[in-house]
Amino acid sequence: MKPLRQHQGVAVPLLRINIDTDAIIPSREMKRVSKKGLGQGLFAGWRYRYEGDEKVGPEPEFALNQPAYAGASILLAGANFGCGSSREHAVWALAEYGFRVLVAPSFGSIFRNNCIRNGLLPVTLPAEQVETLADSLQPDPQQRRIKVDLEARVIETADGRTLEFSIDEAARKTLLDGLDAIEVTLRHDDAIQAFKAADRQRRAWASLWPE
């Protein structure tokens, strides 16, 4: 996993609340048994124009399709972003599109975990501060890039304002070091084995054996 310490990039606002994972990646865009090939399907319901079920081109009204936000890597969103289904495809699609940081007043909890597992930084800020960030982008989001510093836990706008954010240590460490979670856990393998041995005594009824 790519470590994430500092990141500077173009931000794009999508300030509605309860943007669910079905909106982030509609189920019909999850076409293969793979984590790849999902960037095209990101926000597909909003991002394309349709005739019947056929995509016939980009929807010019949608923020990601506007030149001002080309190459965006920071997403500003409303509360409860990523609520709904557990599909990690939502995170894979955001990452493949190029997003590295998401800023919202709150996140769906499975979605947030998925972000951290995939090197995508979820920053929680109050709604007014997310609006402040959105305002700071104008008139030219391409020039008015936002800087995110995970080590210092601050976000800096192009007009020089800084916003502090907090994030739990576990998530911060995983992102800063780009750690592989399974490897980290297996460092505790002795504890896992000891737990299992004791547990087999205490809850023998809970074990299953191979068929």
Partner 1 sequence: MEQTLFDKIWNDHQVAELDDGSFLVYIDRVFLHERTGSVALSSLAESGRAVRNPAQVFGTVDHIIDTTPGRSDRTRMPGGEAFVRAMRELSRQAGIRFIDIHDRRQGISHLVSAEQGIALPGLTLVCPDSHTCTLGALGTLAWGIGSSECEHAMATETLRLKKPGQMQVRCDGELPAGVTAKDLALHLIGRHSAAGGRGFAIEFCGSTVERLPLAGRATLCNMAVEFSAFTALVAPDEKTLAYVEQRPLAPAGDQLASARQYWERLHTDPGARFDLQLTIDAADVAPTVTWGTSPQHAVAVDGRVPDPRHIADEQERRTTELAMAYMDLAPGTAVRDLAIDGAFIGSCTNSRLPDLRAAAAVLDGNRVADGITAICVPGSSAIKREAEAEGLDEVFRAAGFEWRESGCSLCFYAGGEGFPTGARVISSTNRNFEGRQGRGVRTHLASPATVAASAIAGRIADCRETTARP
114 binds partner 1 (CB under 8 A): yes
- Give SS3 for 120: coil
What residues from 3 to 22 belong to the interface with partner 1 (CB under 8 A)? Answer: 15-18, 20, 22
Angle at 98 between CA 158 and CA 183, to 5 degrees: 110
User: Helical H runs in the chain?
Assistant: 21-24, 44-47, 89-97, 109-117, 127-136, 169-177, 181-186, 189-202
In the complex, minimum distance from the CB of residue 123 to partner 1, in angstroms, rounded to a whole number: 17
101 DSSP β-pair partners: 74, 121
CB 83 within 8 A of CB 21: yes
Torsion over CA of 159, 155, 118 and 186, rounded to 10 degrees? 160
CA dihedral 190, 192, 198, 201 (to 10 degrees): -130
Least CB distance from residue 185 to partner 1, whole Å?
A: 5
For partner 1, what does the binding mask look like between residues 77 and 106, x meaning CB under 8 A?
A: -xxx--xxxxxx--x--------------x
Q: Whole-number minimum distance, CB 140 to partner 1, in Å?
A: 24
Q: Does the footprint of partner 1 cover residue 154 (CB under 8 A)?
A: no
196 part of the interface to partner 1, by CB under 8 A: yes
Could you give the CA distance from residue 64 to residue 93 in angstroms, rounded to a whole number? 14
Q: Which one, 9 or 37, has the nearer CB to partner 1?
A: 37
Measured from the CB atom, is 8 or 85 closer to partner 1? 85
Q: Please tell me whether residue 127 binds partner 1 under the rule CB under 8 A.
A: yes
- Number of CB atoms found within 10 A of residue 177's CB: 13
Which one of 142, 143, 195, 200 is in contact with partner 1 (CB under 8 A)? 195
Binding site for partner 1 (CB under 8 A): 15-18, 20, 22-23, 26-28, 30-35, 45, 50, 52-53, 78-80, 83-88, 91, 106, 108-110, 113-114, 117-118, 127, 168-170, 173, 181-182, 185-186, 188-189, 191-192, 195-196, 199, 202-211
